[in-house]
Structure 1
Amino acid sequence: MLKPFLHFLITIIFMLYRNGVSLETDTINSTLVLKDSDTINSSDKQFTLGFFSPNGTTNRYLGIWYYVSPSSVTWVANRDHPLNDTSGTVSISSKNIVLMNGNREIIWSSNVSSSIQMNTTAQLLNSGNLVLKVTSSGSILWESHNHPVDSFLPTMRVSHNPRTNEKLGLNSWRSFQDPGHGNFTSGVYSAGVPQIYIWDKGVPRWRSGPWNGQVFTGVTNMYTVYVNGFSMATGEDGTVYFSRSFQDKFLSRNFLDSDGFLVEALWDGVQKDWNVTWTAPRDQCDYYNKCGPFSLCYSKDRPICSCLRGYEPMNTLEWGSGNWSSGCVRRTKLQCERGNNATDKNKEDGFSRLTFVKVPDFMHWSSGVENECRGLCLRNCSCLAYAYDAGIGCMFWSGTLIDVQKFNGDAGADFYVRIAYSELDKEDHKVVVIVSAIAGSFVASVCLILSWWACKRRDKRVTTYEEWVKGLSDSSETVPSDLPWYSFEVLANATNNFNVANKLGMGGFGPVYKGKLANGKEVAVKRLSAASGQGLEEFMNEVVLISKLQHRNLVRLLGCCVEKGEKMLIYEYLHNRSLDAYLFDRTQDVLDWKKRFNIIEAIGRGLLYLHRDSRLRIIHRDLKPSNILLDEDWIPKISDFGMARIFGGNQDQANTRRVVGT
């Protein structure tokens, strides 16, 4: 009996040595030596201090990480000086925290200089801050929060002194396997109105827009109720500090990754993983000065870059080819720039208003009320634009307007660009021409509509399910008798009256909403857009086709609705959305190779069924990642058969009447 027990005990000791021992303390004192296999935890077990090797490498580093997620390292001591074995130790020596290798050589130290003899201890706080303090008084001599790496932790402060240009901010890892100093930095810059920047080797890569006391005006979906805890303060020496206090009930992570993206993520205790809630830059227009000077970037436009009103491309050929780096130049001089002999010298410059704009960089500001800003800008010939924010005051720009971005209505301010009065006259004339054209088109349209109505007035409108089925019965296809019909009222209640909060996406023929029926069943409701000119035929086609198809890799049609001029399809709801959400969003890194292979294989099985094994031989014609839906087990299902075409049993080709597909 003794030998098995000894064998068991030796095994346990070996496992503890190999996996590391968590010491029951949050403090390192003069009598405690932290070995490579040891760790200490903060008192609330939010953070851990110990040795780690990043992403499977053999190099050893002393670092701090989240207790629940050992791979999420927040601070590294010896980031540019890795240990090549497991002989490293951490101790208190000569009042400092000291990291030594097996040869007793100092690899890293807190490097506090003091001639006073004192006893010190190192403690890992609940904020993830490692502090060196005097044992007797508790005064802090050194803290890791004053030497940040890539993570922005609670109670940490990033700062900038505009007088000395001294900065304290984040620095990315060199790569995901190397925590050494990388190319990207991020922090606050306070020359003027404070902003947050990402720099690539010192060159701006992204900026937040100005801080108005509550939010950064150039960050989308940033509301005070959401960003509770952000604050900006100024010290006696003029240093501006930016910090954040997180709510205790949320475990949140903010960091600058090795690719130069600021990332915010929340810990999912059920999935045991981080859910990314925000990144910057988020799209092409988020990149600093994407379109060059005096231009506007809007990600919804094609092309995304356009000149501000009153300006034109500096290089037309480059601009037309998609190279916008040279930007735009003013088309007509401002009145104050023209000679005194000009016949229209008494004319006054005007302003072109843009809404929901991330205002340009290099602003200067003055306190004042909103109606004073315009006059102040007009009286200064070098003033090219102005904006107003209640938390900032009047903002003005001179010299160059760069990094101007338009949003969809979830951020930004009203921005006024100064233009010559003659440009206003051109615009007014253009408006008259446009209004006249619209009026003429409206009259013609009314006449055409009245003519169409006169021709069609005797036709009976299909408004009910029974009438629609009768119409189908006259065609070559038939509707399955067991296909459920849902009333418009039932679907309106299920989707909260088609509330935008329940909108899952926009398909080729209309929006898709998530709904919950009275029995608790979740469904996806595809609502045919009234503006779709192709809708009725495709709607009937999809109902007839997909109701006859039964395969685990095809989305299941649960019913339809034809009522009050509406045409809707009701599908099973698939929790993991569409495949494109994971393929093209770099923050959704959940598809390992095994999942990808299974998805590829399953899509192939679904297509094989459509092409060969189903009662109808069907070519989908619009197969793309957004039409591949994923259930909770990551089983893919092919959807959206509105463009599918049926082949006869002996056909190998057929003609179409319209251009379809992607």
Structure 2
Amino acid sequence: MGVNNNPWFKLCFLFVCFCFQSHISFAAGKICGNQSISGKQTISSETGEFILGFFTPGNSSKYYVGIWFNIPEQTIVWVANRDKPVFDIYTSDIRISNGNLVLFNESGIMIWSTNLSSTNSSSLEAVLLDEGNLVLRDGPSSSDPLLWQSFDHPTHIWLPGPGAKLGFNKITKKSTRLTSWKTNEDPAPGCFSLELDPNSTSQFFILRDMSNILWTSGPWNGQIFSLVPEMRLNYIFNYSYIDNENESYFQYSLYNNSLKSLLIMDVGGQIQQRTWLQPAKQWNVFWAVPRMQCEMYAYCGAFGICNKESEPLCNCLEGFGPKSVDEWNSRAYSDGCQRKTSLHCGNSSLVNKKSDRFLEIRSIVLPANPRPWAMAVGNAQECESTCLNDCSCTAYAYNGSHCSFWSGELLNLRQLAKDDIDGKTLYVRLAASEFSSSNSNKGMVTGVAVGSSVMLILLGLLLSVILRRTNMRKTGTFFTHTDKHGSFPYFDLSFF
């Protein structure tokens, strides 16, 4: 029997082919019509600067198709299927299908696509370029028509170079924006974004939930954005702002192309310009805004309080806990906190109803949202009773002549130093049962104090007796008792 007909030889041959195929990297950096990527297969840019393939962030069990720097520290710069992960990379694949670059999951369902009109062209190819841009073009030459590029669909990172621009298309009325990851292990769109003002004011905004402005760059003055003076240090970056009848956009490049740099919309709401330090094998934050994270709108989410002097920066108010412990532990605080115990007011399911009470929080910046309503009162007790009788009232503050009341979730709470003159006192509504443990503790402290006082009195009395007896020994003033057994000295407590 020939070697080639040996079944064991065929089995070993197939196993070797499978192992080779599962780790293969297409050096050409292309996905052509007859190719696909699955498992641990990747493609790289011509210089090897960037890689495209399946990845899993951190300790997650979910997989995504993305582009990353070819460096020791995993740095994902673009993600295709941000909010639609796959779970088996060996039965999922990305390939050209019906005129598009398409990702199919383990069930053969299309979960991401370049979403172009269908074409019958057989020369389509997806190419990863050296600047980190994934392009779909009709032909093998760089001069062939460009149908789609990832630079037009950034996720959380903005790379330097031609074609990578953030701006507003005046014809389609669409923005090219950066959107943070939800957490450090979940690339789904988070609540923070960076985009150019669509009202043609030539300034960038950091937005929360696409609406609340957290930061502005100030308008472009021809050289820099007015509120970003650091841009004058342009020995690393070359900036340009373009405004014409079709679009307004901003782009930047590196004077030294051997450097690695990126601008990231971080999960915490900061934008950071980072540069790669090759000797240290780590990213260095070159610039970041807003500089104080506690000054960012609602950084700690609902019922979270930010303290720039604490570690971590965010904590839940007493009586509240994180809505998502995993996200909180990964320092993504935007989901905020929720009550540990439901309020009694307005809760018909509670049989033994007790009145809600108020937790006093001192030296804070009062909530910016929701907007409070106010009323004139004679004293603080009127504030408390008014809020207590309104089940929608979440918190109140008293300034000596007026009450301010809040309903719903409390946002943008910041802890200040005790001696900060800007600090105010807020009273937050909690279920009465939330105070039981603190009352028990107070009772225990009181009991210990009373017990300690009694012990001190007894010890003082005993010490007094000992001292008196010592003095009597020194002066010889002992009493003598005589009976039939003889005479012996004694002292009498009634003497004291």
Interval containing the TM-score (normalised by the shorter chain): 0.5 to 0.7
Residue 270 (structure 1) aligns with:
279
More divergent stretch after superposition (107-116 vs 33-42) = 107-116
How far apart are 1:188 and its partner, in Å?
1.4
Structure-2-length-normalised TM-score: 0.53
Does the Cα contact within 8 Å between 1:280 and 1:286 map onto a contact in 2? no
Is there any run of 5+ residues in structure 1 with no aligned partner, and where? 1-7, 291-298, 300-318, 327-662
Alignment partners' CA distance in 2, 1:97 and 1:10: 29
Does the Cα contact within 8 Å between 1:207 and 1:288 map onto a contact in 2? no
Alignment partners' CA distance in 1, 2:219 and 2:56: 39
CA separation of 1:321/1:34 partners in 2, compared to 1, >3 Å: closer, same or farther? Answer: closer
How far apart are 1:169 and its partner, in Å?
0.5
Residue 352 (structure 2) aligns with:
none
Q: Are residue 168 (structure 1) and residue 168 (structure 2) matched?
A: no
Q: Are residue 37 (structure 1) and residue 2 (structure 2) matched?
A: no
Alignment partners' CA distance in 1, 2:298 and 2:36: 51
Does the Cα contact within 8 Å between 2:33 and 2:122 map onto a contact in 1? no
Alignment partners' CA distance in 1, 2:298 and 2:203: 15
Residue 120 (structure 1) aligns with:
124
How far apart are 1:286 and its partner, in Å?
6.1
How far apart are 1:287 and its partner, in Å?
4.0
Q: Tell me which of 41, 53, 62 is aligned to 1:59.
A: 62
Residue 136 (structure 2) aligns with:
132
Residue 206 (structure 1) aligns with:
215
How far apart are 1:184 and its partner, in Å?
0.9
Alignment partners' CA distance in 2, 1:162 and 1:92: 31
CA deviation profile, 1:410-445 (whole Å, cap 9, x unmatched): xxxxxxxxxxxxxxxxxxxxxxxxxxxxxxxxxxxx
How far apart are 1:323 and its partner, in Å?
4.0
Residue 79 (structure 1) aligns with:
82
Q: Tell me which of 131, 148, 166 is aligned to 2:154.
A: 148
Alignment partners' CA distance in 2, 1:230 and 1:267: 19
Alignment partners' CA distance in 2, 1:139 and 1:28: 16
Alignment partners' CA distance in 2, 1:123 and 1:260: 32
Alignment partners' CA distance in 1, 2:206 and 2:50: 26
What secondary structure does 2:58 align onto? helix
Residue 27 (structure 1) aligns with:
30
Alignment partners' CA distance in 1, 2:173 and 2:107: 40
Does the Cα contact within 8 Å between 2:45 and 2:130 map onto a contact in 1? yes
Structure-1-length-normalised TM-score: 0.41
CA separation of 1:24/1:164 partners in 2, compared to 1, >3 Å: closer, same or farther? Answer: closer
CA separation of 1:76/1:70 partners in 2, compared to 1, >3 Å: closer, same or farther? Answer: farther
Alignment partners' CA distance in 2, 1:242 and 1:134: 28
What secondary structure does 1:102 align onto? coil
How far apart are 1:101 and its partner, in Å?
2.3
Does the Cα contact within 8 Å between 1:95 and 1:119 map onto a contact in 2? no
Is there any run of 5+ residues in structure 2 with no aligned partner, and where? 1-11, 300-307, 309-361, 370-496
CA separation of 1:245/1:36 partners in 2, compared to 1, >3 Å: closer, same or farther? Answer: same
CA RMSD of aligned residues (A): 3.5
Alignment partners' CA distance in 1, 2:240 and 2:298: 27
What secondary structure does 2:157 align onto? coil
Does the Cα contact within 8 Å between 2:73 and 2:282 map onto a contact in 1? no
How many residue pairs get matched? Answer: 295
Alignment partners' CA distance in 2, 1:32 and 1:264: 36
Q: Which has the higher contact order (CA 8 A, sep 6+)?
A: 2
CA deviation profile, 1:599-625 (whole Å, cap 9, x unmatched): xxxxxxxxxxxxxxxxxxxxxxxxxxx
Q: Are residue 180 (structure 1) and residue 203 (structure 2) matched?
A: no
* Alignment of structure 1 residues 360-509 onto 2, 5 Å: none
CA deviation profile, 1:67-115 (whole Å, cap 9, x unmatched): 1146210111111110011221111111211111233321211111045
Does the Cα contact within 8 Å between 1:235 and 1:241 map onto a contact in 2? no
Residue 100 (structure 2) aligns with:
96
Alignment partners' CA distance in 1, 2:116 and 2:172: 23
CA deviation profile, 1:211-256 (whole Å, cap 9, x unmatched): 112111212432153363211102332x211111123021112111
What secondary structure does 1:145 align onto? helix
CA separation of 1:276/1:320 partners in 2, compared to 1, >3 Å: closer, same or farther? Answer: closer
Residue 249 (structure 2) aligns with:
241
CA deviation profile, 1:176-209 (whole Å, cap 9, x unmatched): 1111111111111153531111101021111112
Alignment partners' CA distance in 2, 1:37 and 1:322: 51
Instruction: Point out the structure with max Rg over C-alpha.
Output: 2
CA deviation profile, 1:624-644 (whole Å, cap 9, x unmatched): xxxxxxxxxxxxxxxxxxxxx
Alignment partners' CA distance in 2, 1:46 and 1:70: 13
